[in-house]
């Protein structure tokens, strides 16, 4: 049975997609069977996996509204050996259409149940909002991975996310836990980042992943080649950090 993880943070541009794509590639490199679900109408995880979002016959949108099955829409990420359930702008409409459908927050969970035995990991890249799409992700998942930059406002945003996760846990998905907080785009030369990192460790203890992802330009360049950073330049500091993170995840979920 696949373990399902949401990569979520309602703040924009904090490294969710970069984390989702590189974790998928890292886990695939560890011989794990991985499905990456792009749950963001921006389609960044789709493009970053080398799948052309403009040419999709069907996508996660059709899956959510019940017009297609996951296994008919998933496509291989050729460079890295995982599958992608792709997304594009169509998904923006799902937000409105889902409102009128039955069990609107459980559509993704129900769809993924059909492929649970085909994968070891299913990773869900969420959009930057606590929307119905993100709620579908949180209801489908066993755990949440929260990438965050160590900046002042990051801590404030975190309390909204933690509250939402608590509510989903209490009302909709008793399985849901925070797996961990991942410090990304980290620059140790900046005193403020070091201070926020210390505060995170103080408040969240071992919920903070040991691995720290550094700011690294190779990770930012990779998507324009349709490649995860791990495949684009495996020797870069960013790629090595994500590979280390993949190994830490595998260890951490053994304890779940």
Distance CA 214, CA 239 (A): 10
230 belongs to the binding site for ligand ATP (CB under 6 A): no
Distance CA 230, CA 246 (A): 11
| Residues 14 and 184: beta-carbon distance below 8 Å | yes
The Cα-based distances of 227 to 12, 17, 26, 31, 220 in angstroms read 21, 12, 12, 18, 11
3, 16, 109, 240: which one binds Mg ion (CB under 5 A): 16
- Smaller CB distance to ligand ATP: residue 223 or 228? 223
The CA dihedral of 44, 47, 52, 58, to the nearest 10 degrees, is: -50
Distance CA 248, CA 240 (A): 12
192 belongs to the binding site for ligand ATP (CB under 6 A): no
Q: How far is the CB of 10 from ligand ATP (least distance, A)?
A: 8
| Beta partners for residue 183, in sequence order | 148, 212
Q: How many residues bind Mg ion (CB under 5 A)?
A: 3
112, 146, 150, 213: which one binds ligand ATP (CB under 6 A): 213
36, 184, 208, 239: which one binds ligand ATP (CB under 6 A): 184
Distance CA 236, CA 243 (A): 11
228 belongs to the binding site for ligand ATP (CB under 6 A): no
Tokens read off for 1: 């049975």
220 belongs to the binding site for ligand ATP (CB under 6 A): yes
The Cα-based distances of 59 to 70, 86, 87, 138, 255 in angstroms read 8, 5, 5, 19, 34
Partner that binds at residue 215, options Mg ion, ligand ATP, none, CB closer than 5 to 8 Å by kind: ligand ATP
Partner that binds at residue 213, options ligand ATP, Mg ion, none, CB closer than 5 to 8 Å by kind: ligand ATP
19 belongs to the binding site for Mg ion (CB under 5 A): no
128 belongs to the binding site for ligand ATP (CB under 6 A): yes
- Smaller CB distance to Mg ion: residue 29 or 127? 127
Q: What mask of x and - would describe binding to ligand ATP in positions 88 to 117, judged by CB under 6 A?
A: ------------------------------
| Beta partners for residue 34, in sequence order | 121
Q: How far is the CB of 120 from Mg ion (least distance, A)?
A: 23
Site of interaction with ligand ATP (CB under 6 A):
12-18, 40, 42, 44, 128, 184-185, 213, 215-216, 219-220, 223, 238
């Amino acid at each position: 049975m696949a373990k399902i993880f949401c990569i979520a943070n309602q703040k924009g541009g904090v490294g969710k997609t970069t984390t989702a794509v590189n974790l998928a590639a890292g886990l695939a490199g560890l011989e794990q069977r991985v499905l990456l679900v792009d749950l963001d109408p921006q389609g960044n995880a789709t493009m970053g996996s080398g799948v052309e979002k403009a040419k999709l016959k069907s996508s996660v949108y059709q899956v959510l509204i019940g017009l297609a099955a996951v296994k008919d829409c998933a496509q291989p990420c050729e460079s890295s050996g995982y599958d992608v359930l792709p997304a594009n702008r169509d998904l923006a409409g799902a937000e409105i259409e889902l409102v009128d459908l039955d069990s609107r927050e459980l559509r993704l969970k129900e769809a993924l149940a059909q492929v649970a035995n085909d994968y070891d990991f299913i990773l869900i890249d969420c959009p930057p909002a606590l929307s119905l799409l993100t709620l579908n992700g949180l209801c489908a998942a066993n755990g949440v991975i929260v990438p965050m930059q160590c900046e002042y406002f990051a801590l404030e945003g975190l309390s909204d996310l933690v509250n939402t996760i608590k509510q989903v846990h209490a009302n909709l998905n008793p399985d849901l836990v925070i797996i961990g907080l991942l410090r990304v785009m980290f620059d140790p030369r900046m005193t403020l980042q070091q201070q926020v990192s210390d505060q995170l460790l103080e408040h969240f203890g071992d919920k903070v992943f040991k691995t720290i992802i550094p700011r690294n330009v190779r990770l930012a360049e990779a998507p324009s080649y349709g490649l995860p950073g791990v495949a684009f330049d495996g020797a870069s500091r960013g790629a090595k950090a994500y590979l280390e993170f993949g190994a830490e995840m595998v260890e951490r979920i053994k304890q779940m």
